[in-house]
C-alpha cells in the first residue's frame, strides 16, 4: 500500500468552503436509495420546498444541480442564452468576469459594465449599457463578489433590467443563507448558489431557481440547450414534475443540503443574517487594530466575506502559510489586481462564530508581531470583544 496523505482538521475562514456542522455530516450517512425510490423523491421534495424558503420565492423550478457553484452559473447561462443573444454582464471582480466568459462561450454577444474591484456597479452605467445594447435578453450580476467582499444592491438593477425587457440573473453563491436575498420581491428571474459557503453543507450542489418568465424564455428557445447534463427543463422533470430519470442524484449531498437548510430555518433566516453581521463587525473591529481596513466602502461590505488590505510591506503569503501550518486556520489571499494586497476572510454559515473571530485575531496578533508589525498586544481581541458586547 502506498502512503496516503491524511486530511487535517481545519478552521475554514477563507472564501469557501466553510466548516460543516456534525449534524450535516451525520445526515450524509443516511441510507442510499435508488434515484427514483418514492422515499428519496420525498426527500427531494423537502429540499425544493426548503430552497424556496431560503431563496424567498414561489418559483416552481427550484432545485439543486449536481455540481458546485460554477455548475449553477453555467446552467443558468447555457439555458437562458442562445447564440447571438445579447447579454449585459456586470464585472467588478473575478466572478463577474467568469459570468462574462461563460456567456461568451454560449455564443452570446456580451457587453460588460465594469466597476473597480472593491466598488459596486453603478446602476446608471448598467442602465446605459442596457439602452445601448438594444434588445437585451439578460442582465447578469454577482450579489456578493467573493473576490472583493462587495455586496451589490440588487433592486435598482432588477428594475433597470425589466425596463429594458431583459431577464435578471443573480449569482447568489456567497449570499444565500448569509445575507438578505429576496428573489420574488426583488424581481430576480434566475438565481443560483452553492452549498459550501453560507448554506453550511459540503461543496457539491448548486441550488438554482428560475421565475416563470425565465422558464418561458427557455421553453421558447429555437435551439436545444447545448448541455444535456445541465438542461434545466430536463432537470425539472426529474426533480419536480414527471419524476423521470435524468442522472443519478448524489444522495449524501442531498441529505446534507436538506439538513443544512433545516438548520437554517431553525435558526431563522433573519437571525442568521444578523449573526453573520455581528461576527463580521467584530472581525473588522479587530482587524482595524492591525491597521487593516476593508477594501469596499462602508455600506456595501458583505458580512460573509471581509476583504481587507494587509499591512504595508507584509509578506502576506508567509503569514497565511504560518496560520495554516501552526494554527490550522485557512484564510484567503487576493486575486487579480488585489493579489498580494488583501486577505479574504470568510465568516460563512457554520464558520461564522464569535469564538472563531477571537481565535483568528489571537493567532494573527502573534504572527503579525513576529513579522514586526507594530501593534498593541491584546488590542484586536479586546476590540472584537467590545464589538460583540454591543447591542
Ligand X SMILES: *Cc1c(COP(=O)(O)O)cnc(C)c1O
Q: Which residue is nearest to ligand X (CB)?
A: 69
| Nearest approach, Cβ of residue 23 and ligand X (Å) | 22
| Nearest approach, Cβ of residue 98 and ligand X (Å) | 7
Q: Which is nearer to ligand X, 189 or 365 (CB)?
A: 189
Q: Do 17 and 202 contact (CB within 8 A), yes or no?
A: yes
Q: Which is nearer to ligand X, 76 or 130 (CB)?
A: 76
Instruction: Measure the CA dihedral 264/266/270/271, to 10°.
Output: -100
CA distance 247 to 232: 12
Q: Do 217 and 223 contact (CB within 8 A), yes or no?
A: no
Quick one: which segment of 22-30, 68-76, 249-257, 277-285 binds ligand X (CB under 6 A)?
68-76
Query: CB within 8 A of 388, min separation 6: which ones?
Result: 278, 282, 354, 357
282: cell is: 467584530
Report if residue 68 touches ligand X, rule: CB under 6 A. yes
Query: CB within 8 A of 7, min separation 6: which ones?
Result: none
Q: Which is nearer to ligand X, 73 or 295 (CB)?
A: 73
123: cell is: 446602476
Report if residue 70 touches ligand X, rule: CB under 6 A. yes
Give Dmax over CA atoms of the chain in angstroms: 66
Report if residue 306 touches ligand X, rule: CB under 6 A. no
* x-marked contacts with ligand X along 174-203 as a string, rule CB under 6 A: x-------------------x--------x
Report if residue 173 touches ligand X, rule: CB under 6 A. yes
| Nearest approach, Cβ of residue 131 and ligand X (Å) | 27
| Nearest approach, Cβ of residue 362 and ligand X (Å) | 27
* x-marked contacts with ligand X along 132-161 as a string, rule CB under 6 A: ----------x---x---------------
89: cell is: 454582464
Report if residue 171 touches ligand X, rule: CB under 6 A. yes
Q: Which is nearer to ligand X, 205 or 381 (CB)?
A: 205
What are the strands of the beta sheet with 109-114, ordered from one edge?
61-66, 205-210, 190-192, 167-171, 138-142, 86-91, 109-114
378: cell is: 491584546
Contact positions vs ligand X (CB under 6 A): 16, 68-70, 73, 95, 142, 146, 171, 173-174, 194, 203
Amino acid at each position: 500500500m502506498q502512503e496516503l496523505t491524511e486530511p487535517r482538521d481545519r478552521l475554514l475562514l477563507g472564501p469557501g468552503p466553510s466548516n460543516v456542522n456534525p449534524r450535516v455530516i451525520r445526515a450524509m450517512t443516511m441510507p442510499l436509495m435508488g434515484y427514483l425510490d418514492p422515499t428519496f423523491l420525498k426527500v427531494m421534495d423537502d429540499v425544493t420546498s426548503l430552497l424556496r424558503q431560503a431563496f424567498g420565492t414561489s418559483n416552481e423550478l427550484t432545485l439543486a444541480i449536481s455540481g458546485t457553484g460554477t455548475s449553477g452559473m453555467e446552467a443558468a447561462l447555457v439555458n437562458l442564452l442562445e447564440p447571438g443573444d445579447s447579454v449585459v454582464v456586470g464585472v467588478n471582480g473575478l466572478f463577474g468576469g467568469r459570468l462574462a466568459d461563460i456567456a461568451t462561450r454560449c455564443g452570446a454577444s456580451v457587453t460588460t459594465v465594469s466597476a473597480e474591484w472593491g466598488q459596486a456597479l453603478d446602476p446608471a452605467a448598467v442602465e446605459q449599457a442596457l439602452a445601448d445594447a438594444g434588445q437585451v435578453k439578460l442582465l447578469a450580476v454577482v450579489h456578493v463578489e467573493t473576490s472583493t467582499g462587495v455586496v451589490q444592491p440588487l433592486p435598482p438593477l432588477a428594475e433597470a433590467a425589466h425596463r429594458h425587457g431583459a431577464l435578471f440573473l443573480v449569482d447568489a453563491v456567497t449570499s444565500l443563507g448569509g445575507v438578505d436575498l429576496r428573489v420574488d420581491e426583488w424581481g430576480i428571474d434566475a438565481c443560483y448558489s452553492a452549498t459550501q459557503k453560507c448554506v453550511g453543507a459540503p461543496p457539491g450542489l448548486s441550488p438554482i431557481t428560475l421565475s416563470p418568465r425565465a422558464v418561458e424564455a427557455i421553453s421558447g428557445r429555437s435551439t436545444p440547450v447545448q448541455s444535456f447534463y445541465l438542461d434545466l427543463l430536463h432537470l425539472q422533470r426529474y426533480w419536480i414534475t414527471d419524476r423521470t430519470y435524468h442522472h443519478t442524484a448524489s444522495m449524501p449531498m442531498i441529505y446534507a443540503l436538506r439538513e443544512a437548510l433545516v438548520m437554517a430555518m431553525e435558526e431563522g433566516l433573519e437571525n442568521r443574517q444578523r449573526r453573520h453581521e455581528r461576527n463580521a463587525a467584530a472581525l473588522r473591529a479587530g482587524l482595524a487594530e492591525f491597521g487593516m481596513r476593508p477594501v469596499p466602502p462602508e455600506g456595501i461590505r458583505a458580512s460573509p466575506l471581509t476583504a481587507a488590505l494587509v499591512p504595508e510591506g507584509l509578506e502576506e503569503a508567509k503569514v497565511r502559510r504560518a496560520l495554516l501550518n501552526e494554527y490550522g486556520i485557512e484564510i484567503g489571499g487576493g486575486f487579480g489586481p488585489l493579489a498580494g494586497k488583501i486577505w479574504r476572510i470568510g465568516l460563512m454559515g457554520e464558520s461564522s462564530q464569535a469564538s472563531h473571530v477571537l481565535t483568528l485575531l489571537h493567532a494573527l496578533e502573534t504572527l503579525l508581531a513576529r513579522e514586526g508589525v507594530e501593534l498593541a498586544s491584546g488590542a484586536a481581541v479586546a476590540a472584537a470583544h467590545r464589538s460583540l458586547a454591543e447591542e
